[in-house]
């Protein structure tokens, strides 16, 4: 009898393994058979998922001319069960790995992460910059969602962080019925090429003493520029950074200007840690390096971020620098604008209407949306402002920066966010 039980147990294990392998093979085959899918590569899933795939889908470069040039767009799928909801992260940049997603982990459901057009491996051959628009990108995402819904036909939630958050509410504007809910993390809604609200925010964020201390630090660094510049050059060389948009002094001065925005955006350092005017050159330099990335103005980062800057100055908006506190101290910077990132032959006109239209639509028609911000994040200067005309909610983490996420909030606020989502998509998180 014992041998019979063991035999049945062994048969059961074999059947289960065979069933699992068949279901895995079946899922890959189903994806490969979907229209427009170019390739499906099985990859190692993390511990939350059963299967994972790196997928390329064919997209028109111009969705208004579907028979014209095509490009392949990359996205990652992490699979649990087809009957569960799908969280799709509409990333605003390149993606080079199948990263975790907070929302999918909280909801314990399936996940897709999409690389944005013109970034990473999702590049058309022509690189026609006129077709890098928010509407074209929204159509990319619509096509991916429509395609994958033939397998995952439960609820869908769109989400994204920073520019990905912008990409998420923009997609919602163009295709409001694609998803049942949207969660936009730390997503600015800029209304100008260099939105002046950012200057007002930086003039009032934090305490007066902290802001005064920051300016004193920046001024002291500029006063000692001749002494600190060789340290900057050496450090950049050791890090492998090169700069083509200006000479070393020009770049150094922009790093000092960027400190004022980056300090509040990331909070990699605190007010208490800002050196005073008696600090050594070494202490001033190390604090500047901690508070303002040297790589941001490098050829390496600019090459990666060029599509972002183009979108910023054509439709999505960005920021410049207030130099009123540094008159007479800037030797190279004459025009304190982030347009320096753009090549001289790439100088788009800013569309002042589209983001205004999106802003109005969100306030009047943007239902089932959650906007998450950090109180002192510099990008919160241009946060979405709700008027109460929809059921959408805005959550602001006291003292939070650009790294603010759902789990940054206290338990009461986390419950509010999660329960709201559960109600909207009629879903209860599995225990």
Q: Are 373 and 396 in contact (CB under 8 A)?
A: yes
Report whether pLDDT(240) > 60: yes
**Do 308 and 409 belong to one domain?**
no
Order the strands of the 86-90 sheet from edge to edge: 37-43, 51-60, 70-79, 110-114, 86-90, 156-161, 181-185, 369-374, 393-397
CA gap 177, 173 in Å, rounded: 9
pLDDT digit string (tens) for 210-238? Answer: 999 999 999 999 999 999 999 999 999 99
Tell me the residue range of the domain where 320 lies: 197-341
**Do 186 and 250 belong to one domain?**
no
pLDDT at 3: 52
Report whether pLDDT(45) > 50: yes
Among 132, 141, 193, smallest CA distance to 168 is for: 141
**Do 138 and 221 belong to one domain?**
no
Report the SS3 class of residue 194.
strand
pLDDT at 431: 85
Average pLDDT over residues 4-18: 47
Higher pLDDT, 14 or 335: 335
Q: How many other CB atoms are found less than 10 A from the CB of residue 347?
A: 11
Does the residue 347 lie in any domain?
A: no
Q: Considering the chain, what is the average pLDDT of its residues?
A: 94
CA gap 53, 34 in Å, rounded: 14
| Predicted TM-score of the model (pTM) | 0.93
Q: Which of 319, 341, 363 is the last residue of a domain?
A: 341
**Do 285 and 400 belong to one domain?**
no
Does the residue 348 lie in any domain?
A: no
Bridge partner list, 181: 157
Average pLDDT over residues 106-125: 98
pLDDT at 4: 47
**Do 243 and 185 belong to one domain?**
no
Does the residue 89 lie in any domain?
A: yes
**Do 53 and 95 belong to one domain?**
yes
Asked which of 24-33, 69-78, 99-108 is least confident by mean pLDDT, the reply is 24-33
Model confidence band, residue 22 (pLDDT cutoffs 50, 70, 90): very low
Report whether pLDDT(147) > 80: yes
CA gap 323, 424 in Å, rounded: 46
Number of domains in the chain: 3
pLDDT digit string (tens) for 355-400? Answer: 999 999 999 999 999 999 999 999 999 999 999 999 999 999 999 9
Q: How many other CB atoms are found less than 10 A from the CB of residue 181?
A: 25
Q: Which of 282, 309, 341 is the last residue of a domain?
A: 341
Read off the CATH number of the domain in which 76 is found: 3.40.50.1820
**Do 134 and 264 belong to one domain?**
no
Does the residue 431 lie in any domain?
A: no
CA gap 426, 56 in Å, rounded: 31
**Do 9 and 135 belong to one domain?**
no
Does the residue 318 lie in any domain?
A: yes
**Do 173 and 53 belong to one domain?**
yes
Model confidence band, residue 17 (pLDDT cutoffs 50, 70, 90): very low
Residue 256, C-beta contacts closer than 8 angstroms, at least 6 positions apart = 218, 221, 222, 288, 292, 326
**Do 147 and 48 belong to one domain?**
yes
Report the SS3 class of residue 19.
helix
């Amino acid at each position: 009898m014992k041998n019979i039980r063991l035999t049945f147990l062994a048969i059961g294990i074999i059947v289960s393994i065979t069933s699992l392998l068949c279901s895995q093979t079946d899922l890959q085959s189903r994806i490969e058979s979907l229209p427009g899918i170019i390739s499906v590569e099985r990859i190692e899933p993390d511990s939350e998922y059963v299967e994972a795939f790196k997928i390329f889908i064919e997209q028109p470069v111009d969705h208004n001319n579907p028979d014209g040039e095509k490009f392949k767009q990359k996205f990652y799928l992490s699979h649990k069960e087809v009957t569960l909801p799908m969280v799709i992260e509409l990333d605003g940049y390149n993606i080079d790995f199948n990263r975790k997603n907070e929302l999918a982990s909280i909801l314990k459901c399936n996940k897709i992460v999409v690389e944005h057009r013109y970034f990473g491996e999702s590049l058309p051959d022509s690189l026609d910059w006129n077709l890098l628009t928010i509407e074209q990108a929204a159509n990319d995402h619509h096509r991916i969602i429509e395609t994958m819904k033939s397998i995952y036909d439960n609820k869908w939630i769109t989400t994204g962080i920073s520019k990905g958050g912008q990409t998420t509410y923009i997609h919602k504007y163009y295709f409001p019925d694609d998803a049942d809910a949207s969660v936009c993390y730390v997503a600015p809604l800029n209304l100008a090429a260099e939105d002046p609200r950012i200057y007002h925010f930086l003039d009032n964020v934090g305490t007066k003493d902290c802001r005064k201390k920051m300016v004193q630090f920046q001024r002291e660094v500029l006063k000692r520029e001749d002494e600190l510049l060789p340290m900057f050059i050496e450090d950049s060389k050791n890090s492998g950074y090169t700069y083509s948009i200006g000479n070393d002094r020009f770049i150094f001065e922009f790093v000092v200007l960027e400190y004022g925005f980056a300090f509040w955006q990331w909070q990699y350092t605190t007010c208490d840690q800002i050196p005073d005017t008696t600090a050594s050159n070494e202490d001033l330099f190390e604090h500047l390096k901690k508070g303002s990335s040297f790589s941001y103005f490098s050829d390496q980062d600019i090459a990666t971020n060029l599509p972002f800057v183009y979108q910023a100055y054509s439709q999505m908006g960005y920021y410049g620098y207030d130099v009123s506190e540094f008159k007479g101290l800037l030797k190279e910077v004459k025009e304190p604008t982030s347009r320096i990132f753009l090549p001289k032959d790439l100088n788009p006109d800013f569309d002042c209407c589209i983001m205004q239209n999106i802003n109005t639509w969100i306030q009047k028609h943007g239902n089932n949306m959650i906007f998450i911000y950090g109180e002192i994040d510099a990008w919160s200067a241009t946060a979405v402002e709700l008027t109460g005309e929809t059921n959408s909610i805005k959550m602001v983490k006291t003292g939070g920066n650009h790294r603010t996420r759902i789990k940054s909030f206290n338990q009461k606020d986390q419950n509010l966010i999660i329960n709201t989502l559960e109600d909207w998509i009629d879903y209860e998180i599995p225990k």
